[in-house]
Amino acid sequence: MTEENDDRWPEWLIQHQQQEQAEAHQWAERVSKVFQALHLVLDPIDWRGQGRMASIFSSGVEVGALSDLHHLEPKQVLDKVRRRLVEDAAGKQLHTSAGRAYLCTRITPEPGMVSLWRVRLDGYEQGVSIAEYTREGKRVYEYYRGPINT
């Protein structure tokens, strides 16, 4: 490697990092707008520190990566995030550890609900019901004790 090449390497690296930062910022802005339009809670995105691979959190729950969510259509984002938040609410109620396989079945919601889900662990018949509500302009997911109309 020549002395001339040694001088260019840091410049190239800096340009690459700046390009990645700019792209990660654009992706984070897009994801933020989609979450806002869908009334989903979005925790701060560490796009400066993690770049395009930044984890996306909603109410403290990891729902995906910036690199995965930035290119999805809003309906796809909602489906993916909703599924993850429903699973998290069910896992808390079932006292299960992360990484378990859940079977989520959408059922007819009660009045005042956005959606209602019956969630059970794969291989088990019993499960819990998780309701999706809109409160203060944001979607929330919580255990539902009431009767289920299928």
Q: Identify whether residues 99 and 67 lie together within a single domain.
A: no
- Assign 7 a pLDDT band (cuts: 50, 70, 90): low
Number of CB atoms found within 10 A of residue 136's CB = 6
Q: State the Cα–Cα distance between residues 31 and 28, nearest whole angstrom.
A: 5
For residues 12 and 29, state if they share a domain.
yes
8, pLDDT greater than 80: no
**Residue 66 and residue 87 in one domain:** no
Q: Residue 16: which H helix or E strand, with range?
A: helix 3-37
- The reply to whether 66 and 80 lie within a common domain is no
User: Residue 131: which domain range?
Assistant: 75-150
pLDDT higher than threshold 70 for residue 52: yes
Are residues 148 and 82 located together in one domain of the fold? yes
Is 112 found in the same domain as 83?
Answer: yes
Q: Which position has the higher pLDDT, 104 or 12?
A: 104
Out of 45-49, 52-56, 84-88, 124-128, least confident range: 124-128
**61/96 same-domain check:** no
